[in-house]
Amino acid sequence: MVITHDPVDIVTIGAGMTASILAARILPGTGLSMVSIEQGGERWTYPDFAHNHDSLKYENRFEMMQDLSQVSWTWRPHEGAAALPMRQYGSFNPGQGLGGSLVHWTALTWRFHPSDFRYRSHYTERYGADKLPDEMTVQDWPISYEDLEPYYDALEYDMGVSGRAGNLGGTVVPGGNPFEGPRNRDYPNPPLAESRFGRRFTEATTALGHHPFPTPAGILSQGYTDPYGNVRAGCLYCGFCTRYGCEVGAKTSPLTTWLPPALATGRYEVRTRSHVIGIDTDSSGRATAVRYINSAMEEHVQPAEIIVSSSFMLENVRNLLMARSDAHPDGIGNDRGQLGRNYTYQMSQSPAKGLWEGERFNFFMGNGCTVPQIFDYNADNFDHSDVDFVGGARIYPNAGQREPIGSAQTLLDGLIDRQWGADWKAQLGRHWDSIATIGIEGESPAYAGNFCDLDPNFTDAWGLPLLRITFDWRDNERNMYRFIAARCEEIIDAMGPTRKTTSPELPDYRYDQYQSTHTTGGAIMGSDPSNSVTNSYGQVWDTPNVFVTGAALFPQNPGMNPSGTVGALAYRTADAIRDRYFGAPGELLT
Amino acid sequence: MTDAESDHTITGAHSGITRRLFLGSVASVGGLVLVGCTSDGMFAPDGTSTPGAELRPFLTAAERTIVTAIVARLIPGTLGDPGGVEAGAVDYIDGKLARFSAFAEPSFLAEPYVDVIESGPVPIGDAVLTVSSDQLYRYGYQSGVLPHELYRRGIEAFDGFTVARFGAAFAELGPEEQDRALDVLDRLQQGSQGGENSDQGGENTPGGAGGSGGSGGGPDQEGFTEARSAFGDLNPGEFFSTIREDAIEGMFADPSYGGNRNLVGWALIGYPGYQRAWTPTEMLLGTRRKPQSLENLPTMNPDRHDEHSIPALEQPIDGVKDG
């Protein structure tokens, strides 16, 4: 038996960051109704995170992550190789449950550079058409930094972002990021506290002529009442942040920020432990409903005017690929073969590691945002005329939240030969808090050979095909890494370690080691249906009552964390749906 | 309940899957069922609060002797300078094996499994699932061997290897020979990890990679051939990395999991354990706080039912329920 619910105005697949933003921006002040179907369970700051400092449970056993026993993703380095599933957590860690991955995130909250939005035009204009390799399929976004600035601004104030402005209305402000785009006003809260190692990085990079600045964090540096009226506490620097829910609500999440005003309308409902198995379409190809299996294993149908795929990037691409019908034989959004194209990732590596004999840096305190950053070698902030690559990376010192189990596994790699035994134990005991890395988070340009489609061999717990990722690094990224790694070595030398070890060359991409949860692209936005899946609102060209939110929309991935731009894009989409869509339902927004 | 090993067919959500599982016991002591181990390898509750209760051991006495001897070389210790054994890492490992019929972390175990070839061209095609041995490390765990089998058969194989190469069971060797035996497995594991790439990955690297072991040819000066021969279809490197990872968990996890007894692991590295908060001053200048386990960590926003109670700022909100 299939249970069909009364129609609502909007149904979303997933109840994470962007779904809660849509609900909080659209529902108050309108009479609209919205339902979110969420695969994970309900959880709240209190009581669910009240006693959660348990590294084994959260870091090593992945308590907050999508249940891999139910669904995974396959990967292969190129089309000629076998694609195998991620059987245990490796490269990336998508979350599940109310609030989605934005509950366990690290909370770096960036605005992309103005040049990031004009990627192909920017490099072509500055360096000539030959600068971009032929195989690179990077393209301009259909939206500019200036278009998005008001939404970045609103997002930062709703989240209470802690940071220091670097460019106020075109005037560079000392101590902030001089490479950021012009902002209308400063961050709503001052930067988080500094770490000991971070202070040393600031001194060294300043002496080298770089421009260190505090990480903009979606973590409150002090008590804050947001524009919705949520009253929130500041960060306690407890050291359990990434992969954890925040027990005081200082780390911004849907639970702290958007769900309270959305649920207060009484016109928003979240159905947890319910797994979407399909998007229904009618004979004209218009989407009509979302189909799911609920917690009692019953099949349900939720009809709606608007269907939003607001899951994690990988699931969003899969949701559309699986929505095959006579009208859309290759899936929704794929009438012109654009779906799955421009899958990109993030180059997250630690090229240099040092040991400072006798130092204690207190790495177990703080979080991933209590450090400075430099953007001097990110994007096109440095001259690429004489280098053999495009792109760049942010460079940062080892952040806080060192946990004992995971760190003991790998901390001495590269510093001693044998990673067990009496010497290993003695060195770990002596140096556990004295070893630190210089890390990078780099760009991932798009290529025709890196893409997502449906796997022909593996299915999930509901018998549906897994998403297949085809991805590997190219020479551009190897060259970029070599250059950035050399800068990291200069920085670590300036920081005076007793010993160091470096990784001057980019290793092959591997699926089994955690690098970054910033998988991007696959359902990209663009200027017209010939180069993209959606318009700048995430509205699917060939099925305009379907929207996609999140990082699947990115044409390629810049050298910084995606959530700030994911949020700003969702704000813009929410306003367009609220103010304009229902005046002409099913029409493309312009 | 029994702890008999049995062949078991998974009849869970993954239809058509048949994998041989060595079922652990679902412990029942004094009428208290501790953990409902799921038979399909799904993620089971970790059971952090089982005061006074004990799981029926997974390891036999003979197996426990070998695991103890291995842990004593991986993280050596004495009473005055505790190592893995003194920390209770062996109890931790046995408890983990007893508590989980498959993995303690969520794992995708559905078939098919990959075929690995040592040399020659790799066939190409959508239905082909063949990977060359030198590329296998990039995909992570793919062997399909579950921890019960890896320990049970791996321990026996390891003993077989040391008898063949050193003339005695592992636990009877001297410390230097024990280290040489472990070193063979370690180097097989390193050799399967793509050379320099084995140094990559930062602090959150999961282990258990499914490499097939080193591929160096020539005479067996290293002991690689003997090790491979003793382990048969099991991967000696996977056995080594699993037991190393488990020993580290037993040394450094919260004591409620059975290891890190008296917080000796945290004392070793100078980790003050689980605290509610650190101040910005402590972040710069350090701390002298005593190490504290989860048991002694006060709950944030505890429920209090008196006139002084202040409700938590963040409370559940209506409108969210299971579909």
B214-239 residue pLDDT tens:
444 456 778 999 999 999 999 999 99
Record the tokens describing residue A575, joined without a space. Answer: 């306003």
Nearest to B268 among A231, A248, A429 (CB): A429
Residues of A forming the active site? 518
Q: How far is CA A527 from CA A115, A139, A430, A479, A580, in A?
A: 17, 10, 57, 30, 20
Instruction: Test A406 with B205 for CB contact under 8 angstroms.
Output: yes
Maximum CA pair distance of chain B?
A: 79
Nearest to A512 among B83, B209, B319 (CB): B209
Q: What is the pLDDT of residue B55?
A: 74
Record the tokens describing residue B303, joined without a space. Answer: 């429920």
- Rounded to an integer, what distance in angstroms lies between the CA atom of residue B48 and that of residue A48? 15
Please compute the mean of the pLDDT values over residues B99-104 and round it to a whole number.
96
Residue A441 · residue A110 · CB < 8 Å: no
Taking the domains of chain B in order of start, what are their residue ranges?
61-261
Please compute the mean of the pLDDT values over residues B70-77 and round it to a whole number.
98
Helix (H), strand (E) at residue A280: strand A275-281
**Bridge partners, residue A275, by sequence:** A293
pLDDT-based confidence at residue B202 (cuts at 50, 70, 90): very low
pLDDT-based confidence at residue B14 (cuts at 50, 70, 90): very low
Instruction: Test B301 with A400 for CB contact under 8 angstroms.
Output: no
List the domains of chain A with CATH numbers. Answer: 1-76+95-124+138-160+224-339+524-590 (3.50.50.60)
Helix (H, G, I), strand (E, B) or coil at A557: strand
- Rounded to an integer, what distance in angstroms lies between the CA atom of residue B202 and that of residue A352? 11
Helix (H, G, I), strand (E, B) or coil at A224: strand
B 42-61 residues inside an 8 A Cβ radius of A: 42-43, 46, 48
- Rounded to an integer, what distance in angstroms lies between the CA atom of residue A517 and that of residue A312? 10
- Rounded to an integer, what distance in angstroms lies between the CA atom of residue A151 and that of residue A451? 29
Nearest to B251 by CA among B73, B48, B99, B86: B86
- Rounded to an integer, what distance in angstroms lies between the CA atom of residue B176 and that of residue A585? 76
Q: Which stretches of chain A score pLDDT less than 70?
A: none
Mode of pairing for the β-strands spanning A465-470 and A451-459: antiparallel
Residue A492 · residue A501 · CB < 8 Å: no
Q: What is the pLDDT of residue B12?
A: 33
Q: What is the pLDDT of residue A127?
A: 98
Instruction: Test B131 with A82 for CB contact under 8 angstroms.
Output: yes
Record the tokens describing residue B41, joined without a space. Answer: 């390898």
CB atoms near residue B1 (< 10 Å):
10
* Coarse DSSP helix, strand, coil percentages of chain B, rounded to the nearest 5 percent: 40, 5, 55
Instruction: Test A54 with B274 for CB contact under 8 angstroms.
Output: yes
- Residue that the structure tokens 């009253």 belong to: A231
Record the tokens describing residue A331, joined without a space. Answer: 């899936």
pLDDT-based confidence at residue B306 (cuts at 50, 70, 90): low
pTM of the shown model = 0.92
Record the tokens describing residue A464, joined without a space. Answer: 């549906």
Mode of pairing for the β-strands spanning A8-13 and A299-309: parallel
- Rounded to an integer, what distance in angstroms lies between the CA atom of residue A234 and that of residue A224? 7
- Rounded to an integer, what distance in angstroms lies between the CA atom of residue A357 and that of residue A498? 6
Q: What is the pLDDT of residue B311?
A: 66
Nearest to A557 by CA among A525, A521, A526, A504: A521
Q: What is the pLDDT of residue B305?
A: 62
Q: What is the pLDDT of residue A523?
A: 98
Instruction: Test B140 with A512 for CB contact under 8 angstroms.
Output: yes
Q: Does A239 touch chain B (CB under 8 A)?
A: yes
- Rounded to an integer, what distance in angstroms lies between the CA atom of residue A392 and that of residue A397? 17
**Bridge partners, residue A231, by sequence:** A225
- Rounded to an integer, what distance in angstroms lies between the CA atom of residue B133 and that of residue A2? 47
Residues in chain B: 323
Residues whose CB is less than 8 angstroms from the CB of residue A49 and which lie 6 or more positions away in sequence, other chains included: A43, A244, A245, A246, A247, B300
B 113-142 residues inside an 8 A Cβ radius of A: 114, 122, 124, 126-131, 135, 137-142
**Bridge partners, residue A278, by sequence:** A291
Nearest to B265 among A236, A404, A439 (CB): A404
Please tell me which residue of chain B has the smallest CA distance to A276: B323
Record the tokens describing residue B51, joined without a space. Answer: 């005061």
CA A545 and chain centroid, separation: 25
- B80 burial (CB, 10 Å; 0-12 / 13-18 / 19+) is exposed
Lowest mean pLDDT among A77-81, A373-377, B11-15, B120-124: B11-15
Nearest to A45 among B249, B278, B314 (CB): B314
Helix (H), strand (E) at residue B130: strand B130-132
* Coarse DSSP helix, strand, coil percentages of chain A, rounded to the nearest 5 percent: 25, 20, 55
**Bridge partners, residue A441, by sequence:** A348, A394
In chain A, what residues touch B275 (CB-CB under 8 Å)?
Answer: 53, 238-239
pLDDT-based confidence at residue B120 (cuts at 50, 70, 90): confident
Mode of pairing for the β-strands spanning A546-548 and A171-172: unpaired
- Rounded to an integer, what distance in angstroms lies between the CA atom of residue A53 and that of residue B266? 15
Please compute the mean of the pLDDT values over residues B150-169 and round it to a whole number.
98
- Rounded to an integer, what distance in angstroms lies between the CA atom of residue A484 and that of residue A392? 7
pLDDT-based confidence at residue B53 (cuts at 50, 70, 90): low
- Rounded to an integer, what distance in angstroms lies between the CA atom of residue A478 and that of residue A349? 12
Helix (H), strand (E) at residue A499: strand A499-502
Q: What is the pLDDT of residue B124?
A: 81
User: pLDDT (tens digit, 9 = 90+) per residue, A355-401?
Assistant: 999 999 999 999 999 999 999 999 999 999 999 999 999 999 999 99
In chain A, what residues touch B143 (CB-CB under 8 Å)?
Answer: none
Q: What average pLDDT does chain B have? A: 80
Give the residue, B206 or A360, on which the prediction is more confident: A360
pLDDT-based confidence at residue B315 (cuts at 50, 70, 90): confident
Lowest mean pLDDT among A530-539, A552-561, B41-50, B116-125: B41-50
Residue A416 · residue B214 · CB < 8 Å: no
Residues whose CB is less than 8 angstroms from the CB of residue A225 and which lie 6 or more positions away in sequence, other chains included: A231, A232
Q: What is the pLDDT of residue B313?
A: 67
Instruction: Test B322 with A274 for CB contact under 8 angstroms.
Output: yes
Residue A404 · residue B271 · CB < 8 Å: yes
Residue A437 · residue A425 · CB < 8 Å: no
- The distance of A82 to chain B (nearest Cα, Å) reads 5
Q: Does B73 touch chain A (CB under 8 A)?
A: yes
